[in-house]
Amino acid sequence: MLINVDLDVLQRYLNPNKQKLLSKGITSIRSRVENLSNINPSINHETLSTAIINEFLNTYKGYECIVKEYTELDMRNIPEVKKIYDEITSWEWIYQKTPDFTNEMETRFDWGVVDLMFEVKGGKFSE
């Protein structure tokens, strides 16, 4: 969810599947993205987080729901949380290191896109 992002910059970094865009009649990813602050100028990280938590609690009322807020210090000092924090702040997670491949095949179906990337060595699939 985007609160206030420079959409011109965002468009340079998003590389959606062109077949998918064409099948939906969409000319650009920018036409499908909106800052929440344009819809509600008073929205910020805190108000959005509170609204998400409240909606979750409303959806699952009747169940025991424990809301726990972790600080950055918590994320560094609680081993289980640190492991997840380290993973989602890593370069690989953020920028998705793409495995090496020599061939790619892509096909669009009504239910989605299948994109196969594979490495061929000596005429045989190696990965």
- In tens, the pLDDT along 64-119 reads 988 888 888 888 899 988 898 888 888 887 777 666 677 787 887 777 778 887 88
CA-to-CA separations, 116 to 35, 45, 50, 119, 125, in angstroms, rounded? 33, 38, 40, 10, 12
**pTM higher than 0.75:** no
